[in-house]
Chain A
Amino acid sequence: MPSDVFPVSQSVLDADVLAAELTRRYELSGEVRCLLLSRGMNDIYRVEHANGPHALKVARTGKSSDDEFAYEQAYVRHLGERGIAVPAPVPLANGDLFFSVNAPEGKRQVVMMGWLEGTPFTHTVDEENAHRLGAFLADIHLAALDFKTGHRKAVASETKLPERLPYLTTMFEGRGGDQAFLKRAGDAALSFMTSLDRTEVPVGACHGDLQCANAMELADGGLAVFDFSDCGTDPFAKDISAFYWRNDFEGRPEAINQAFVDGYDSRKPLSQAEKDAQPMFRLMRHLLITSSMALFINRIGPVPGFDENIDYYLDMIRRYAADAGVN
């Protein structure tokens, strides 16, 4: 990029040029159109063509290395082969599962995927559907038990939290007590994660963000899961905490969380150690999500209700820190 071009943190690719690139790389025939569906941490398009539609993800610069992105695609493909409804990556004409483009802000990976026809699974407000979604997460974990790949990707909360927490504490400038509490909570969550006995709390490939907004009910009544951007190796039992966070954020009752855990437990029973770890996993999730929002706010713009209501998030962190024995 010429040096007189102003530095940018994110961009939106030209949809027409993208369509031409897909035509070339996937050897698509006929008219190809890319329609921007959402512009967030990643950009998502619907690709319309003779054998479509397909979904297309253009990943955020710096989110994953190529090796990590390859892990994600291998994991999604594996789940698809094991009967989990996922947006499986479509191979390029050369057999690769993704390609990269040089955007002004840096390299971005691009993957074309199967299109899931269904409705977002946003009705987990009742216990029955929460139970169903919990059982589905357990099925995803069971399907991943024999997943093997030469690529590496970890959920890496232990690495991300120390990087991102300072962005959150900065938002509490002039509130030393809150800043000290956040540091204490972060230290406690990190200490817990590093001392975790991985034999008692088993590790495997996890989705990383399974909550109702990333699940879908298909026309046949089955469930599908998408958005594997945060997937990676992690304790299976920690993967439950994404659901807690969303449910807590929406202000739904604890019985919904319990129904989700019960659903999970009914398919893949949790050990006592996995159950005991839940309060600290929940605290870790709250800390990481809130810190991540603080970090990314200048890239994607405010999350509705976030920076103007930061105390709502802090209250949640305090509540679940107390549950985990951190005050």
Chain B
Amino acid sequence: MVFPVIHSTLDPNALCDEIARRYTLPQPVRCRLMSRANNDFYEVSAGGSRYALRVTKANFRPDGEYLFEQAYVAHLHARGCHVPAPVPGADGSLLFSVEAPEGQRSVTVMQWLAGVPFTENLTSSDAHDMGAALARLHLAGEGFSCAEPRLISTMKSLKERLPDLLKMLTEHPDDCAFYEATTHRLDEVYEKIDAGDVPQGPVHGDYQFANVLRLDSGEIGMLDFDTCGIGYLAEDILTFIWRSDMEIQDEAVNRSFLDGYESVRPLNKAETRLLPIFRLTRDLIMSVSYAMLINRVGPVLGFDGDFGPFTDLARRHAAAAGLD
């Protein structure tokens, strides 16, 4: 019997053969593993050109959601955004699937973006540029439609994944009670959001500094649209803030990011009022998602197993949102 596995690393040589067969790329094709996490990324070189290749985690999304993602990225690229546009295969398809031991995984070849990802050392000026770029991304998303819309329901995901976090924190009953009660309160707030007041549209879904590049041209590039979908535009701002809260811890950087965003797309009153709620929701969704995936990827760099700082931050933001 083959032992059940939850994640695998595809053999790069077999992947090369598959790419050479499915794409009309110049020979020789080489694949090199660049990063191994929830999704695995490879650098593909073919005839002097570079591409990025993503192999998604198995059994996480239906094909339709990946098709939405690639269509959205292709749309953004056509609108002038610096994103890794999917490279069509010889048959015109933007992705294909392989049967890995743990289940079906989706594979996409994308254009290579030449640049350097931002780190926690980014400046307020960088944050301003990144905020403005996110707003342009939101504006560029207007008019995008897809036969199978991928709808983001943050509360649905939060409620589905909460048990994983509670299981991880069994030795901290006070924290468990906080997370349960806060999720319940957030659910009530989301129920009351007037969709007419809070604009929705295609969003990146994970716009944090590690997914943003300073391109060699000096412009801003964006990566990793894995969690994109149709959601509240203002909610999409808070992933940057979440990562910033964890690693930069400088409100001036957060403010600069928001200023940059609003310099391109000013927030309306309802959106501004909801920012503290969306900030708290982002804290919780990241924590529950981490708990759900921890046994697939292993500990995350910089997280030493002490969940206390995450909980402290969420408690602080719950108080700021009036939900403590």
Contacts and interface: CB of A to CB of B under 8 A. Distances in A.
B36 A300 contact: yes
Contacts of A300: 9, 33, 36
B100 A14 contact: no
B5 A7 contact: no
B33 A297 contact: yes
Interface stretch (B183-191, B209-217, B255-263, B291-299): B291-299
Contacts of B33: 297-302
A14 B101 CA distance: 11
A4 B101 CA distance: 10
A310 interface: no
Contacts of B297: 36, 39
B4 A17 contact: yes
B32 interface: yes
Given A9-B12, A17-B3, A298 B32 contact: yes
Given A39-B298, A297-B32, A11 B11 contact: no
B217 to A, nearest CB: 20
A38 B32 contact: no
Nearest to B98: A6
B109 to A, nearest CB: 16
A35 B31 CA distance: 31
Contacts of B299: 36-38
Contacts of B1: 102
Looking at A6, A298, A301, A302, the one whose CB has the most chain B CB atoms below 10 A away is: A6
A34 B3 CA distance: 15
B32 A8 contact: no
B50 to A, nearest CB: 14
Interface residues of B, number: 33
Contact of A104 (B5, B36, B298): B5
A324 B297 CA distance: 41
Contacts of A9: 9-12
Interface in A59-79: none
A292 interface: no
B35 interface: yes
A301 B105 CA distance: 18
B174 interface: no
Interface string A31-44: 00011111100010
A102 B1 CA distance: 7
B265 interface: no
Interface string A264-287: 000000000000000000000000
B263 to A, nearest CB: 34
Given A104-B5, A298-B33, A8 B100 contact: yes
Given A38-B298, A39-B298, A102 B32 contact: no
Nearest to A110: B3
A5 interface: yes
B5 A13 contact: yes
Interface string A1-33: 100111111111111010000000000000000
A196 interface: no
Contact of A15 (B6, B8, B12, B35): B6
Contacts of A4: 99
A300 B6 CA distance: 16
Contacts of B5: 11-14, 103-104
Contacts of B34: 301-302
Interface string A240-270: 0000000000000000000000000000000
B6 A1 contact: no
Looking at A38, A104, A298, A299, the one whose CB has the most chain B CB atoms below 10 A away is: A298
Contact of B101 (A5, A17, A39, A302): A5
B22 interface: no
A299 B9 contact: yes
A31 to B, nearest CB: 10
Contacts of B7: 11-12
Interface in B57-82: none
A101 interface: yes
A148 to B, nearest CB: 33
B195 interface: no
A53 B18 CA distance: 43
B10 A104 contact: no
Interface in B7-65: 7-12, 14, 18, 31-36, 40
A121 to B, nearest CB: 16
Interface in B267-324: 294-299
A50 to B, nearest CB: 15
B2 interface: yes
A12 B299 CA distance: 13
A108 B101 CA distance: 15
A285 B299 CA distance: 29
Nearest to A4: B99
B2 A104 contact: yes
Interface of B: 1-12, 14, 18, 31-36, 40, 98-102, 105, 294-299
12 contacts: A1-B101, A6-B10, A6-B99, A6-B100, A8-B10, A11-B101, A13-B3, A13-B4, A17-B3, A36-B295, A39-B297, A301-B34
Given A6-B18, A301-B40, 14 more contacts: A4-B99, A11-B5, A11-B8, A11-B101, A15-B6, A15-B295, A17-B3, A35-B294, A38-B299, A103-B2, A104-B2, A104-B101, A108-B3, A298-B31
